[in-house]
Amino acid sequence: MDGALDGRHSALIRSLLLAVAAEDGAPEVSADRPLPPDFRGGEHLLAMAADEPVGYAHLDTGGDAFGRQVVEAFVRPDARGRGIGTELVRAVLERATPGVRLWSHGDHPAAAAIAARFGLTKVREMLKMRLDLTTADLPAPRWREGVRVRTFVPGQDEAALVEVNRRAFDWHPEQGALSVADVEATEKEPWFDPAGFFLAVDADDRVLGFHWTKVHPGGEGEVYVVGVDPAAQGGGLGKALTLAGLAHLVDLGLSEVILYVESDNAPAVTVYRGLGFERAQAHVQYSTLDTHGD
């Protein structure tokens, strides 16, 4: 299936993803809302058995910020171990362009076995880190001279945010592609809260960096994105922004917060470990090419 899904196929995919999420904790999908943006457009492959979906793969043909196609593949928990994942990957590789990247959430051993079968190479590792806010001893943020913090103003700050984000994440496969339209779409999501979206600005109100927090439906907080303009880096601005967002999540009464960070982003990992975050899980990408610079 290509492009937009009809109501029946959307319902089939949603039911499978909900079953997977109940078992694995991901992906983030709602029973009563449209499929997440990651599963819209592109190509959709469904594996069916007795009119029930047992496997699903999504091929993002638009690709990441560098034009590389990306695959998400899932097998319903009660249908695992039957070779369905192998056949889904085989089918999607026949359709994908060279350099396609395939996610393995949780770095699952079964995914590693499938990757080996097809000669795929692990090219990326993204860490999920966790902090217990009930025991964390977090200092107050310290702002360098000439910097103040304020919250995001919808309808005013989108373009400035996107420009800082573009410079801060020009190396990142997903975050670097953020657009004004993406921000405006996220503002319509039920979890969006500008009170938890912090901007560091200079005396002229120019955005230097930001910390976008998120609260999940189950009450788990997230350091959603922290970005600092490269021209403003140094002096602990990223750490101060992180602490400002964490203080907000503490004030909300949350007990736990998570974040995602590239494992090879040593400066960021060092900051987060220094604040008490610990590795909880890893998500990896496999590719048909064997270098990070594909």
Using the predicted structure, report yes or no on whether residue 293 has a pLDDT greater than 90: no
Q: Do domains 7-119 and 130-281 have the same CATH topology?
A: yes
How far apart, in whole angstroms, are the C-alpha atoms of residue 152 and residue 68? 32
Q: Where are the domains of the chain?
A: 7-119, 130-281
Residues 38-49 pLDDT 10s: 888 899 999 999
CATH architecture of residue range(s) 130-281: 3-Layer(aba) Sandwich (3.40)
Question: Can you say which residues are annotated as belonging to the binding site?
Answer: 73-75, 174, 214, 222, 226-228, 233-239, 260
Q: Which residue has the higher pLDDT, 197 or 1?
A: 197
Using the predicted structure, report yes or no on whether residue 2 has a pLDDT greater than 60: no
DSSP secondary structure string for all residues of the chain: -BSSPPHHHHHHHHHHHHHHHHHHS-S---TTSPPPGGGSSSEEEEEEETTEEEEEEEEESS-STTS--EEEEEE-GGGTTSSHHHHHHHHHHHHSPTT-EEEETT--HHHHHHHHHTT-EEEEEEEEEEEETTT--PPPP-PPTT-EEEE--TTTSHHHHHHHHHHHTTT-TTGGG--HHHHHHHTTSTT--GGGEEEEE-TT--EEEEEEEEE-TTS-EEEEEEEE-GGG-STTHHHHHHHHHHHHHHHTT--EEEEEEETT-HHHHHHHHHTT-EEEEEEEEEESSSSTT-
Q: Which residue has the higher pLDDT, 36 or 97?
A: 97
Q: Which two tokens stand for residue 207?
A: 């955005």
Question: Can you say which residues are annotated as belonging to the binding site for acetyl-CoA?
Answer: 73-75, 226-228, 233-239
Using the predicted structure, report yes or no on whether residue 292 has a pLDDT greater than 50: no
Q: Report yes or no: 84 and 47 within 8 Å, Cβ to Cβ.
A: yes
Q: Give 7-119's CATH code, choosing from 3.90.420.10, 3.90.180.10, 3.40.630.30, 3.40.50.1360.
A: 3.40.630.30
Residues 149-188 pLDDT 10s: 999 999 999 999 999 999 999 999 999 999 999 999 999 9
Average per-residue pLDDT for the chain: 93
- Identity (one letter) of the amino acid at 76? R
Q: What is the pLDDT of residue 28?
A: 86
Q: Which two tokens stand for residue 42?
A: 């592109």
Q: Report yes or no: 2 and 58 within 8 Å, Cβ to Cβ.
A: no
- The pTM of the full predicted model, rounded to 2 decimals, is 0.90
Q: What would you measure as the largest C-alpha separation in the chain, in angstroms?
A: 66
Residue 193's Cβ-side half-sphere holds a number of Cα atoms within 13 Å equal to 15
Question: Nearest 10 degrees: CA dihedral of 249, 132, 189, 243?
Answer: 40
Share of the chain above pLDDT 90, in %: 85
Nearest CA-CA partner of 282 in 34, 45, 26:
26
